[in-house]
Structure 1
Amino acid sequence: MISTDFGRIALYLAILALIAVPLGRWTVAAASSSGRLGRVFAPVEAGILGLSGVRAGRESSWLGYALGLITFNYAGFLLLYGVLRLQGVLPWNPAGIPPLDPAVAFNIAISFVTNTNWQAYSGEAQLSSFSQAFGLGVQNFLSAATGIAVMVALARGFARAETPTIGCLTTDVTRITLRLLLPLAVAVTILLVLQGVPQVMTGTLASVGLDGHAQAIPLGPVASQVAIKQLGTNGGGFYGVNSAHPLENPTAWSNLIEVVAILALPAAMPFAFGRLAGDPRQGRALFLAMLIPFAVFVGLTVWAETTGNPIHHALGLAGPNMEGKEVRFGAADSAIWAAATTAASNGSVNAMHDSFTPLGGMVAMIGMMLGEVIFGGVGSGLYGLIIFAVIAVFAAGLMVGRTPEYMGKKIEAREMTLAMLALIGLAVAMLVPAALSAVLPAGRAAVQDAGPHGLSEILYAYASAAGNNGSAFAGFGAAQTFHAIAVGIAMMIGRYLPVVVVLAIAGSLAAKKKIPATAGTLPTHGPLFIGLLIGTVAIIGGLTYFPALALGPVAEHLSMLLGRTF
């Protein structure tokens, strides 16, 4: 790694730190009933809520909130599935693209509703402009808004006392979509169009390839799709190769805009949570608990990819690992993107992760296996980290013999049971289908490579699915029926089990009294707790996933050092 690589990492982290606070305040304003944003958007919101049959001021219990969320997402799934199955007769389909296979349509619909955007399809070849804009695009907004709404509901659980309600889902989703996601997406769309990213509804681009043959490159609503896929930590690209495509990501500036957009809102969520919960200091602590491990992840990935492959070096091919990377970005910018997109539940790529070095690919896997909590998806990363925080304060309370407390609320058996249910369920959703895929012929048929890298393909796929990330090792046959269905099930478990658990915790906390801090209360906003929280995430993740990683990327790295290939 050279000095310019350190400079790239430092610049990226500095930009995230600078924009996180103002975006956090914007999120708070978007979720609030008063203020300037409320006055500006009130007429539109009133119309939407009126059509939805929602009465002003109506709130739900945690169970009502959870059932409403699942019902809302299920309706979105049915609508998107219908669009994909009927796209052959729907408008804005100049290429006459036929309907999708039922299993693939199921996979895509589940994927976009759960904020995963797993690409078991090639966008420009299999989806019409209508399917892209009104099918996938709508869910890009709504799935992101749903994640932020759950984070807001959890913050209310900490802020309120002795109350049975945690808010109204329809109101929260409407406000977040109109006041936060839509304006940001419009701004990023304009920036991308200025960099040359297309934004049309029909048409093709005539071109001549290097071989002299004419090409017709499909165009469509690319810039708007890219903007919300990054901001909403969705990740599904308009084109099959995602942001490695020169029309999705044509310049170094567009690359910077997109990679910043990936983590812009996840970095803002801790600050928004702290303000909504009534203690901004907690937000700063949670942000640092995300930023510190992320800086390590970025550094390791950049180091692994810029150091390159020793087998290549022995052949006289010194230099970074450029296999699967775009020369306009290089190894360092590709590695930064890979670390960012797998730390978030984003899944977009500007290079092929299957071609990364074993350690570079392993860092990406670890980011997803930890539950996408560094920084995670919009809203979901923050509430995932709160689950670890609940476990951390419980462990600290046991060590000193005191009742665990977090942000003025007692952490008791109910909260601990729910937290462990979320973590165990996520591990089961990742490891069980991965194990079945490794032993069943239908599962192994999708694997491209032999040896430990083949196992890494499987591990990566199900870590990505259950973590609601959506990226993959490109050689993996994700569109095969076995994996299309199994990955879809893993996505549902990875999304909805934590959501229900977090809302149940929010309801439990909202019903409790506030406990004033005393001399014996563990401060949860200082360096000690930040270290404890990071350690809790690392220990639980390490104990759960290291055996699988040892058989995959670790074994592959050791084999590479010995000069062995498969």
Structure 2
Amino acid sequence: MLSSAIIFVVFIVGGTALLSWPLGRYMKWAMDPAASASRSADRFTHMFQTIGGGVARQSQDWKRYLTAMLVFNAIMFVVSFAILALQQYLPLNPDGKEAIEGSLIFNTAASFTSNTNLQHYSGEVSLSYLSQLGALMWLQFVSAATGIAALAALARGLAGREMGNFFVDLQRASFLVLLPLAFVFACVLVIGGLPMTFDGAVVATTLEGIQQTIARGPVAAFVAIKQLGTNGGGFFGPNSTHPLENPTFWTNAIEMIAIILIPMACVWMFGRIVGRTRHAAIVFTVMLTLLLVKITGAVWFEAAPTQAFAGLPIEQEVGNLEGKELRFGATGGPLWSVLTTSTSNGSVGAMHDSLNPMTGLMPMIGMWLNATFGGVGVGMINMFLYIIVGVFIAGMMVGRTPEYLGWRVEAREVKFAILALVAHGLFILGGTAIFAATPWGFETLNNTGPHGFSEILYEFSSASANNGSGFEGLGDNTAPWNIATGIIMLLARFIPIILPLAIVGSLMAKRRNAESVGTLGVEDGTFGGMLLATILVVGALTFFPAATLGPIAEHLMYMN
């Protein structure tokens, strides 16, 4: 069992890491053509400027770039809200879906606009095909493209060049990166057995002679961008635990690869744009180390049986199979849970609420740190926040100039970085405290004690990390939950983009220095160790007390 688990993990994580290198090279070409002599890149730029009109031809500083991004995202929210609110009057509704409740419309629009895809509904029950495709799948493209565009702009600024134009970058990310990859993955998933049709639900007769209504739809296209864009929103309520979203071993493997492929490639894209691939390799190694530690912990803890089967002879122990697809064994579920929360994907290949207590802690850690590859684009942006804090602290400790890529890091930049990191913790811990102490939270629980607390903690962790997964023992489709998590998803999406771009804007206002022997290096093991220590210390100081009240307390309770 151990050897097969290791082989499976190496196949998924190692194989994806190898694929990310050429993809990162391609993404650099697609997102940063100004540094390329390619004629095809120039032709695409002119085409995107023509499509975007006058606003796409203007060079933007960080403030204008940010304004354009926020305005476009506000329009995304309004358009998707309108489609969801009016779906009962609009076409592509063969099953006659009715109107959905107002706070759920707000939560869903906020969720998909923010690349979170937290779902307080079941898509096959509540939404028309137009809502699924015209609102949600469209948002899965453009919200993911927003993250890639923001990272490209940030990297250009750090390289000492103009940030570019948001509307051109958005089209580059959508049409040159996400759409081609999604098309290829969707075709592979169709071959693997996922439905792709605009017909309504089909009525089938079972072997017992009972009629059963089976929902279907354009599932393959939806699932492809759901995974590649670290969106995670399922076409069906059970997400990738549903047999029509994930029918075979190979579709399971392909979807897991898709979850982490672009986040890994974004690190290499960043390194190539700033001209420091060795620095990107150090950052990639830190991220990969954290990922492997969490995977090891999750698989190890899930190898223990549930309490119902504790005490069986060792040869009869097969691990915790509750809430999992039996064909994928006890390894597939915890591996997926770590991959989906190390990124901001949030799709699920097993019931997270059924994970053993310490296994459930591993996904939470991924969302708390929020920088183990992370979401497309924004994962590397979140890591940039840790880099700024780590460089400043290390520089002060060793008496060297706190500089990053030639830019002097001072109090202003550190304040912005700390503010973004503190906001993440405040959204999670503040929301958890309020809902754990009020009927808004404890009246929606199906479990009491530490596990019930973990369900609340996980939901706010998921919202703040723009993840979207959940401990689904929670009755979260209520007005308080919909409004609270909707607000947090929007704030947690844009604060960690606004403040890093402001940091780069502040750095660009200074004179860039040539690196010297007195400058802290960013391409060696010392920098990697410093960065890893910064992440772990910030994470532990912020979230360890909450962890002791939830999964750790539940684990100790079972031990007794």
Contact 2:56–2:165 (8 Å) recurs in 1: no
Match of 1:22? 22
Shift of 1:394: 0.6
Match of 1:134? 134
CA distance in 2, matches of 1:3, 1:409: 47
Write the mapping of 1:327-346 to structure 2, written as runs, cut at 5 A.
Answer: 327-346=326-345
Shift of 1:552: 0.3
Contact 2:196–2:221 (8 Å) recurs in 1: yes
Shift of 1:532: 1.2
Q: Tell me which of 49, 52, 57 is aligned to 1:49.
A: 52
The amino acid of 1:25's aligned partner reads R
The amino acid of 1:17's aligned partner reads A
Shift of 1:206: 3.4
Compute the RMSD of aligned alpha carbons.
1.5
CA distance in 2, matches of 1:92, 1:55: 33
Shift of 1:490: 1.1
Query: CA 1:36–1:217 in 2, change beyond 3 Å: closer, same or farther?
Result: farther
Q: Are residue 150 (structure 1) and residue 150 (structure 2) matched? A: yes
Q: Tell me which of 474, 477, 486 is aligned to 2:475.
A: 477
The amino acid of 1:253's aligned partner reads W
Instruction: Output one character per residue of 1:380-427: Cα deviation in whole Å (capped at 9) or x when no partner.
Output: 100100100111111111111222011111111111010000011111
Q: Tell me which of 527, 539, 553 is aligned to 1:529.
A: 527
The amino acid of 1:433's aligned partner reads G
Contact 2:450–2:549 (8 Å) recurs in 1: yes
Write the mapping of 1:350-389 to structure 2, written as runs, cut at 5 A.
Answer: 350-370=349-369, 372-389=370-387
Shift of 1:509: 2.1
Q: Tell me which of 245, 248, 258 is aligned to 1:261.
A: 258
Shift of 1:534: 1.1
Shift of 1:500: 0.7
Contact 2:320–2:355 (8 Å) recurs in 1: yes
Q: Which moved more, 1:519-528 or 1:494-503?
A: 519-528
SS at structure 1 position matched to 2:203: strand
CA distance in 1, matches of 2:538, 2:209: 55
Contact 1:147–1:380 (8 Å) recurs in 2: yes
Structure 2: stretches of 5+ with no match in the other structure? none
CA distance in 1, matches of 2:547, 2:188: 40
Match of 2:322? 323
Instruction: Output one character per residue of 1:216-273: Cα deviation in whole Å (capped at 9) or x when no partner.
Output: 2121111111000100000000000000111111111101110000000000111100
Structure 1: stretches of 5+ with no match in the other structure? none
Q: Tell me which of 546, 549, 555 is aligned to 1:548.
A: 546
CA distance in 2, matches of 1:444, 1:189: 41
Write the mapping of 1:59-208 to structure 2, written as runs, cut at 5 A.
Answer: 59-160=59-160, 165-208=162-205
SS at structure 2 position matched to 1:328: helix
Shift of 1:304: 1.3
Contact 1:5–1:332 (8 Å) recurs in 2: yes
Query: CA 1:69–1:46 in 2, change beyond 3 Å: closer, same or farther?
Result: closer
Match of 1:425? 423
SS at structure 1 position matched to 2:303: helix
Query: CA 1:96–1:274 in 2, change beyond 3 Å: closer, same or farther?
Result: same
CA distance in 1, matches of 2:8, 2:388: 35
Query: CA 1:184–1:55 in 2, change beyond 3 Å: closer, same or farther?
Result: closer
Shift of 1:331: 1.3
CA distance in 1, matches of 2:511, 2:278: 21
CA distance in 2, matches of 1:511, 1:167: 16
CA distance in 2, matches of 1:153, 1:42: 15
Match of 1:237? 234
CA distance in 2, matches of 1:419, 1:210: 60
Q: Which moved more, 1:548-557 or 1:397-406?
A: 397-406
TM-score w.r.t. structure 2 length? Answer: 0.96
The amino acid of 1:511's aligned partner reads A
CA distance in 1, matches of 2:233, 2:280: 29
CA distance in 2, matches of 1:273, 1:200: 38
Match of 1:510? 508
Query: CA 1:94–1:43 in 2, change beyond 3 Å: closer, same or farther?
Result: farther
Q: Tell me which of 386, 400, 403 is aligned to 1:402.
A: 400
Percent identical across equivalent pairs? 43
The amino acid of 1:190's aligned partner reads C
Contact 2:306–2:356 (8 Å) recurs in 1: yes
Shift of 1:311: 5.0
Q: Tell me which of 239, 246, 249 is aligned to 1:249.
A: 246
CA distance in 2, matches of 1:39, 1:60: 18
Instruction: Output one character per residue of 1:292-336: Cα deviation in whole Å (capped at 9) or x when no partner.
Output: 110111111111112223552226773210111111222101111
CA distance in 2, matches of 1:28, 1:353: 36
Contact 2:49–2:56 (8 Å) recurs in 1: no
Query: CA 1:86–1:397 in 2, change beyond 3 Å: closer, same or farther?
Result: same
Contact 1:393–1:406 (8 Å) recurs in 2: yes
Instruction: Output one character per residue of 1:491-549: Cα deviation in whole Å (capped at 9) or x when no partner.
Output: 11211111110110121222222222211222211111111111111110001000000
CA distance in 2, matches of 1:520, 1:345: 37
Query: CA 1:133–1:538 in 2, change beyond 3 Å: closer, same or farther?
Result: same
CA distance in 1, matches of 2:181, 2:440: 43
Contact 1:19–1:264 (8 Å) recurs in 2: yes
Contact 1:92–1:202 (8 Å) recurs in 2: no
CA distance in 2, matches of 1:477, 1:402: 53
Q: Which moved more, 1:346-355 or 1:165-174?
A: 165-174
SS at structure 2 position matched to 1:49: helix
Contact 1:359–1:557 (8 Å) recurs in 2: yes
CA distance in 1, matches of 2:32, 2:202: 45
The amino acid of 1:336's aligned partner reads L
CA distance in 2, matches of 1:65, 1:210: 60
Shift of 1:39: 5.2
Query: CA 1:397–1:209 in 2, change beyond 3 Å: closer, same or farther?
Result: farther
SS at structure 2 position matched to 1:329: helix
Contact 2:95–2:201 (8 Å) recurs in 1: no
The amino acid of 1:487's aligned partner reads T
Query: CA 1:19–1:413 in 2, change beyond 3 Å: closer, same or farther?
Result: same
CA distance in 1, matches of 2:32, 2:163: 13
Match of 1:4? 4
SS at structure 1 position matched to 2:212: strand
Contact 2:301–2:358 (8 Å) recurs in 1: yes
CA distance in 2, matches of 1:468, 1:379: 13
Contact 1:155–1:276 (8 Å) recurs in 2: yes
Instruction: Output one character per residue of 1:41-70: Cα deviation in whole Å (capped at 9) or x when no partner.
Output: 4565244212xx3252x2222122222211
Q: Which moved more, 1:244-253 or 1:152-161?
A: 152-161
SS at structure 2 position matched to 1:350: coil
Query: CA 1:387–1:547 in 2, change beyond 3 Å: closer, same or farther?
Result: same
CA distance in 2, matches of 1:146, 1:12: 27
Instruction: Output one character per residue of 1:61-105: Cα deviation in whole Å (capped at 9) or x when no partner.
Output: 212222221111111001001110100011111110012111000
CA distance in 2, matches of 1:40, 1:258: 33
TM-score w.r.t. structure 1 length? Answer: 0.95
Q: Are residue 292 (structure 1) and residue 289 (structure 2) matched? A: yes
Shift of 1:205: 3.3
Match of 1:488? 486
Contact 1:285–1:525 (8 Å) recurs in 2: yes
Contact 1:311–1:560 (8 Å) recurs in 2: no
Q: Which moved more, 1:82-91 or 1:307-316?
A: 307-316
